[in-house]
């Protein structure tokens, strides 16, 4: 049993950087600036309800879009040749090798009112055409600083986390199982609905987790792509620690509540996937 | 046997530059238990997959009940398959696994035959229970696939495949993953199921003993070619060439000359046999099964040799005897010590004469027979498992 000492570095790491901060968050959340134990941090949270609402709605939207784009992509990729799959995986991973902020700035200059898209549309005479037909005075399509732009940023940044787990689960489905379904009389659509999709659900569940959690807690995206108009939980928490509103106790409380909500959601989702093999999302 | 059901006509199959099937002609009768037998890579699984519709021959035709079915997809064929390693649906319980074939197919509405409807739930239930009872798994419906043993999963796979009442059941090495004892039980069970449901079974295996036990007809294949088709008795007693003789059971294969009908020469001596119809003095392969050889005192023997190795096998001894440099395997219940000089006597029906073939000289000498032999044999089986996956 000497081998268990090999786990020591990780255990120390976990204790120092995961468990200890978590304990600190809990302690901060239940104390006030003056040091006494209090529940004020939680009771005052009502004012921030819109932030909770926006965060969860936008994260749900981003996750749903990621499934809609990522699932078909992963499914068709799994049927391609090894070469195609390798190249496609590279392309999917490629953006992740670039700095997150850099990628987001790039989107800003694409979506801006004077950005690439609008310049392009203007150059091909799209706006004069529309204005000519409808008698409007449209100069640009407004895209930046909207909630849509935030969702776009989430989808763009987190899509690989949806594609990869789904792909790896579908890829591992035994081709004989699919042949067995065909053999028993299932046509293409039925094979997908009754065999491939149910067997791929564990991949979807872990994809959802990996997209939803970073989406719900993101803070830079709302500021850069949303123009700070939509206050999200990530921004709210950041403000409590670094901003003018400096109040780590409230920040901790919000973080704690968010964590509990996410945990509950994930638990419900895992209950859904029960009976499926190897669902280990959390 | 009854009428012809499936015919493979001049089926040729190439993958890249490898010839997988070399112009196969084969017909399969209704209600027949036919086994495709051969070593790894002989084309037996490919033949099965062509019948199942999972692969198309490069050239040649497949007929089912007189109709060409080359382009019919698997889900529209009246054959069902029991896959190697079962390929069960792990996301469904046993009942739903067996019911799958009923749920995905539509049947004519009894009230209005033009309308296609789902199989009514009451009928699904009844037929699934029948199928489970047939494989001795009555009452297992609610269990999950993973809670079953290998043998039980095997039975579920069979129940799932026969619930649609196919005319033909294809079985791709279905017993390969089971241990020896279970395999023997399942062999008898499969034969019983085949007789009970009264349909054609096409069975793929590399295990000659399995083939001999269950089949009405055995098709021995090697290198994409059919080597011999016949009943188990035919194949065992009258192998067509050295490959078949060696693959089906143990064989001593010796160079001989047919002096005349019923007279064969080996080692410069003449022996009485039962075969005929060869040209005078035609060179032939002589097959002598290890169990057809009697050990007698040296003076009484038709041939004499020296024992070089003795292995106890339980029911008998495997004795290797050196006859002028060519080593024979003899299976006998009489013990002879290593180094003993012995004589052998072979009855006329112990000789099986085969025409010379490309396989002549490649099989049938037991010079290399030793404990190593068994290991080699096992390697071959493992290899088989590996590449058929």
Q: Which residues of B touch A276 (CB under 8 A)?
A: 91
Average pLDDT of chain A to the nearest whole number: 89
Please give the pLDDT value at position B25.
95
How far is residue A172's CA from residue A183's CA, in Å, rounded to a whole number? 20
Whether residues B87 and A276 touch (CB distance < 8 A) is answered with no
CA distances from B342 to A108, B193, B267, B338 (A): 96, 48, 16, 10
Taking only the tens place, the pLDDT of each residue in B324-360 is 888 899 999 988 899 999 999 999 999 999 988 888 8
CA angle, corner B214, sides to B212 and B219, nearest 5? Answer: 60
Whether residues B75 and A179 touch (CB distance < 8 A) is answered with no
Please give the pLDDT value at position A280.
40
Q: Does residue B156 contact residue B85 with C-beta atoms inside 8 Å?
A: no
Please indicate if any CB of chain A lies within 8 Å of the CB of B313: no
Question: Going by C-beta distance under 8 Å and a sequence separation of 6 or more, which residues neighbour residue A112?
Answer: A118, A143, A144
Least confident of A171-175, A278-282, B378-382: A278-282
Taking each helix axis from N to C end, the angle separating A197-216 and A49-78, rounded to the nearest 10 degrees, works out to: 140
Which of B73, B85, B101 lies nearest to residue A184, judging by beta carbons? B101
Please indicate if any CB of chain A lies within 8 Å of the CB of B105: yes
pLDDT at B85 over 50: yes
Least confident of B28-42, B243-257, B301-315, B372-386: B372-386
pLDDT at B94 over 90: yes
Please give the pLDDT value at position B371.
43
Q: Which residues of A touch B101 (CB under 8 A)?
A: 184-185
Whether residues A185 and B164 touch (CB distance < 8 A) is answered with yes
**Bridge pairing between strands B18-29 and B200-205:** unpaired
Interface probe, candidates B45, B72, B75, B98, chain A, greatest A C-beta count within 10 A: B75
Q: Residues B204-227: what's their mean pLDDT?
A: 94
Please give the pLDDT value at position B28.
95
Q: Does residue B332 contact residue B289 with C-beta atoms inside 8 Å?
A: no
Which of B53, B54, B80 lies nearest to residue A184, judging by beta carbons? B80
Cα dihedral A263, A264, A268, A269 in deg (nearest 10): -30
How far is residue A107's CA from residue A112's CA, in Å, rounded to a whole number? 8
Please give the pLDDT value at position A1.
55
Report the percentage of chain A scoring pLDDT > 70. 96
Please give the pLDDT value at position B91.
92
Taking only the tens place, the pLDDT of each residue in A180-198 is 999 999 999 999 999 999 9
Which of B81, B90, B91 lies nearest to residue A183, judging by beta carbons? B81
B265 CA to chain A: closest CA distance, Å? Answer: 53
Please give the pLDDT value at position B378.
52
Please give the pLDDT value at position A23.
94
**Bridge pairing between strands B79-82 and B4-15:** unpaired
Please indicate if any CB of chain B lies within 8 Å of the CB of A278: no
Q: Which residues of A touch B53 (CB under 8 A)?
A: 183
Strand order in the sheet with B263-266: B269-272, B263-266, B252-260, B282-288, B351-355
Please indicate if any CB of chain B lies within 8 Å of the CB of A183: yes
Q: Does residue B336 contact residue B295 with C-beta atoms inside 8 Å?
A: yes
Per residue, the 3-state secondary structure of B151-197, as one string, reads HHHHHHHHHHHHCCCCCEEEEECCCCCCCHHHHHHHHHHHHHHHHHH
Taking only the tens place, the pLDDT of each residue in A40-90 is 889 888 889 999 999 999 999 999 999 999 999 999 999 899 999 999 999
Report the percentage of chain B scoring pLDDT > 70. 93
Least confident of A196-200, B4-8, B380-384: B380-384
Please give the pLDDT value at position B220.
96
Taking only the tens place, the pLDDT of each residue in A93-133 is 888 888 988 999 999 999 999 999 999 999 999 998 999 89
Which of B80, B84, B146 lies nearest to residue A183, judging by beta carbons? B80
| Short-list B88, B5, B97, B11, CA closest to B56 | B11
Q: Does residue B263 contact residue B270 with C-beta atoms inside 8 Å?
A: yes
Residue B180 — pLDDT band, cuts 50, 70, 90?
Answer: confident
How far is residue A230's CA from residue A222's CA, in Å, rounded to a whole number? 7
Which of B74, B84, B88 lies nearest to residue A182, judging by beta carbons? B74
Taking only the tens place, the pLDDT of each residue in B130-174 is 999 999 999 999 999 999 998 899 999 999 999 999 999 999 999
Whether residues B88 and A177 touch (CB distance < 8 A) is answered with yes
Complex ipTM tops 0.85: no
pLDDT at A228 over 60: yes
Taking only the tens place, the pLDDT of each residue in B39-76 is 988 999 999 999 999 999 999 999 999 999 999 999 99
Q: Which residues of B touch A187 (CB under 8 A)?
A: 75, 104
Question: A208 by DSSP, 3-state: which?
Answer: helix
Whether residues A179 and B164 touch (CB distance < 8 A) is answered with no
CA angle, corner B7, sides to B3 and B12, nearest 5? Answer: 165
Please indicate if any CB of chain A lies within 8 Å of the CB of B100: yes
Whether residues A179 and B87 touch (CB distance < 8 A) is answered with yes
Taking only the tens place, the pLDDT of each residue in B359-380 is 887 777 776 554 444 544 554 4
Question: pTM score, two decimals?
Answer: 0.81
């Amino acid at each position: 049993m000497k081998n268990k000492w090999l786990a020591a570095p990780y255990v120390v790491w976990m204790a120092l950087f995961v468990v200890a901060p978590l304990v600190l968050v809990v302690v901060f959340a239940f104390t006030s600036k003056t040091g006494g134990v209090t529940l004020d941090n939680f009771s005052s949270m009502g004012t921030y309800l819109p932030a909770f609402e926006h965060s969860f709605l936008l994260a749900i939207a981003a996750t749903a879009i990621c499934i809609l784009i990522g699932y078909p992509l992963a499914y068709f990729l799994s049927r391609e040749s090894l070469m195609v799959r390798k190249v496609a995986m590279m392309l999917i991973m490629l953006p992740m090798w670039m700095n997150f902020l850099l990628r987001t700035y790039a989107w800003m200059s694409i979506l801006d009112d004077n950005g690439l898209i609008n310049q392009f549309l203007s150059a091909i005479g799209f706006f004069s055409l529309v204005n000519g037909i409808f008698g409007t005075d449209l100069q640009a399509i407004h895209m930046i600083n909207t909630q849509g732009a935030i969702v776009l940023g989430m989808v763009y940044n987190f899509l690989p986390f949806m594609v990869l787990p789904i792909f790896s689960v579908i890829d591992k489905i035994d081709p004989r199982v699919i042949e067995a379904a065909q053999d028993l009389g299932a046509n293409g659509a039925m094979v997908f609905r009754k065999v491939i999709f149910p067997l791929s659900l564990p991949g979807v569940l872990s994809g959802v987790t990996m997209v939803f959690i970073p989406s719900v807690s993101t803070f830079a995206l709302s500021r850069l792509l949303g123009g700070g108009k939509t206050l999200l939980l990530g921004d709210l928490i950041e403000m409590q620690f670094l901003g003018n509103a400096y109040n780590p106790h409230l920040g901790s409380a919000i973080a704690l509540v968010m964590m509990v909500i996410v945990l509950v959601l994930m638990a419900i989702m895992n209950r859904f996937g029960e009976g499926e093999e190897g669902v280990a999302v959390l | 046997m009854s009428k012809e059901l499936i015919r493979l006509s001049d089926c040729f199959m190439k993958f890249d530059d490898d010839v997988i099937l070399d112009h196969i002609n084969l017909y399969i009768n209704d209600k027949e238990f036919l086994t495709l037998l051969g070593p790894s890579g002989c084309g037996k699984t490919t033949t099965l997959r062509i019948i199942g519709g999972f692969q198309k021959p490069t050239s040649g035709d497949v007929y089912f009940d007189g109709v060409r079915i080359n382009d019919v997809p698997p889900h529209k064929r009246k054959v069902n398959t029991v896959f190697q390693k079962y390929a069960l649906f792990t996301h469904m319980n046993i009942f739903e696994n067996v019911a799958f074939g009923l749920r995905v197919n539509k049947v004519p509405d009894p009230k209005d035959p033009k309308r296609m409807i789902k199989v009514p739930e009451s009928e699904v239930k009844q037929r699934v229970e029948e199928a489970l009872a047939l494989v001795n798994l009555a009452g297992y419906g609610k269990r999950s696939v993973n809670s079953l043993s290998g043998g039980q999963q095997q039975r579920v796979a069979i129940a799932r495949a026969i619930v649609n009442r196919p005319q033909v059941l294809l079985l791709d090495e279905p017993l390969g993953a089971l241990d020896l004892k279970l395999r023997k039980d399942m062999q008898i069970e499969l034969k019983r199921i085949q007789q009970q449901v009264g349909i054609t079974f096409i069975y793929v295996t590399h295990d000659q003993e399995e083939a001999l036990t269950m089949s009405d007809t055995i098709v021995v294949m090697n290198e994409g070619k059919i080597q011999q088709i016949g009943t188990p008795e035919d194949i065992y007693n009258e192998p067509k060439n050295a490959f078949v003789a060696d693959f089906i059971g143990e064989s001593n294969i010796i160079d001989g000359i047919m002096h005349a009908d019923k007279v064969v020469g080996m080692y410069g001596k003449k022996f009485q046999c039962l075969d005929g119809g060869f040209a005078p003095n035609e060179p032939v392969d002589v097959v002598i099964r290890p169990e057809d050889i009697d050990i007698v005192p040296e003076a009484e023997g038709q041939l004499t040799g020296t024992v070089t190795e003795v292995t106890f096998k339980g029911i008998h001894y495997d004795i290797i005897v050196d006859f002028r440099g060519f080593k024979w395997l003899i299976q006998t219940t009489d013990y002879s010590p290593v180094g003993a000089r012995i004589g052998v006597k072979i009855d006329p029906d112990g000789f099986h004469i085969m025409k010379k073939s490309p396989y002549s000289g490649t099989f049938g000498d037991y010079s290399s027979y030793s404990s190593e032999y068994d290991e080699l044999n096992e390697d071959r089986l493992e290899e088989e498992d590996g590449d058929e996956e």
